[in-house]
Amino acid sequence: MVDLFKPALADLISLRMPTIAVVTGHAAATGMMLAMSHDYMLTRSDRGVLSKVVLSTTRRDVMLRAKKVTAAKAVVMGIVDSVHDSAEAVVETAVRLEEELVKRKWDGEACEEIRKALYPELCGDLGLADKSI
């Protein structure tokens, strides 16, 4: 991972509130890493996403062949939370979701630690230690 990118990724993972990635274009490489560091990912239905996937053959195809995964397939695979017909619809949905999330009284430390627990290897690479809460 590029050293200049690590602090930004560490900061996103360490945020003490739920975060939403609004992806209105194609996401690959660094863009996908940034999007995946959020708790929720919303995207347009007519755009593709590229991501690490659990199945080894799919992971191989994505990484070595730069196989693109459509937004619709990304929902089925659990990569994105929802897809929408326009950039405006993605943003509107994200705002509604954020308004819903804000109503909850989040324990910031718990939110941060849950996110770190989801990505232990990445957090180790970033120097983010998890705590017992």
**How confident is the model at residue 96, as a pLDDT?**
95
How confident is the model over 24-50, as pLDDT tens digits?
877 776 777 788 788 888 888 886 665
| Domain-embedded: residue 3 | no
| Domain-embedded: residue 115 | no
Q: HSE on the CB side for 49, CA within 13 Å? A: 31
* pTM, 2 dp: 0.71
How confident is the model over 83-128, as pLDDT tens digits?
899 999 999 999 999 999 888 888 889 888 888 888 888 888 888 8
| Domain-embedded: residue 40 | yes
**How confident is the model at residue 36, as a pLDDT?**
78
| Domain-embedded: residue 35 | yes
Please answer whether residues 78 and 36 qualify as being in contact, where contact means their C-beta atoms are separated by less than 8 angstroms. Answer: no
| Domain-embedded: residue 127 | no
| C-alpha span between 81 and 118 (Å, rounded) | 16
Q: Domain of 51: which CATH number?
A: 3.90.226.10
Number of domains in the chain: 1
**How would residue 58 be classed by pLDDT, with cut points 50, 70 and 90?**
low
| Domain-embedded: residue 10 | no
| Domain-embedded: residue 131 | no
Show the domain range for 51: 18-105
**How confident is the model at residue 52, as a pLDDT?**
39
57: pLDDT strictly greater than 80: no
| Domain-embedded: residue 44 | yes
- Which of the two residues, 79 and 63, has the higher pLDDT score? 79
